Amino acid sequence: MGLDYSSKELFVSSENQRGHAPKFYNKYQDKLAKEQRILARRTKDSNNWYKQKLKVGRLHSKIKNLRADYLHKLSKKLIEKYNAICIEDLDLKSMKIKNLAKHTFDNAWGMLVNMLEYKSIFSGKQVIKIDRYYSSSKTCSSCNAVKSTLELNERIYKCECGLSIDRDLNARYNILTEGKKLLAY
């Protein structure tokens, strides 16, 4: 199976599954902002400041634990279902510069990849990482023609061969094809 990262969802698979990302940080963002505002108004190093700092820390821990629990369950389900999972080796640090940084880190794609890798080792399955410089979104899955530019807001991939397909769908087919080539070696 091929998995392509998606900032709206968590991933899009080659079998047309879309990984639902619950966006835990987004859900608790207002409550976290309120607690942090209260912390900012406290006198630093006072007892009330330490109590409020604990509240903010607990809220961050809750978000982290909810995200980790969800990703553990999802990665276990994927590893049990598939023998080989092909994913793109993304540079997440460079992605934080763009305007999708909050969604990217709320999805925790890197954490999911790590979980898939170590769970695949224990279960005898494989996780195949495609090179980050492979242009999975710009390559036509039908004729293998490569576009020179593809803007992020172009959601439909249109090729000169006549193929008109969703950008994420095209990318996951290319990731799966490239992963099969690497698996053959």
The mean per-residue pLDDT over the stretch 11-40 comes to 88
Check pLDDT > 70 for residue 97.
no
Known catalytic membership, residue 178: no
Cα dihedral 115→179→105→18 (10° resolution): -90
The mean per-residue pLDDT over the stretch 90-112 comes to 74
Give the residue extent of every domain in the chain: 2-134
Q: What is the pTM of this model?
A: 0.81
Choosing from 35, 88, 106, 178, the catalytic residue is 88
Give the whole-angstrom CA distance, residue 147 versus residue 155.
Answer: 14
Known catalytic membership, residue 168: yes
The mean per-residue pLDDT over the stretch 145-154 comes to 82
Partners of 88 in the β-ladder: 130
Partners of 129 in the β-ladder: 87
Give the whole-angstrom CA distance, residue 61 versus residue 54.
Answer: 10
Partners of 126 in the β-ladder: 84
The mean per-residue pLDDT over the stretch 69-79 comes to 94
Phi, psi (deg, nearest 5) at residue 4: -120, 135
Q: Strands 156-158 and 164-166: what pairing?
A: antiparallel
The mean per-residue pLDDT over the stretch 175-180 comes to 88
Choosing from 35, 106, 168, 178, the catalytic residue is 168
For residue 115, give Cα distances in angstroms to 2, 6, 53, 73, 180: 16, 18, 30, 10, 21
Known catalytic membership, residue 88: yes
Percentage above 70 pLDDT, the chain: 96
Check residue 144 and give its pLDDT: 83
The mean per-residue pLDDT over the stretch 35-44 comes to 96
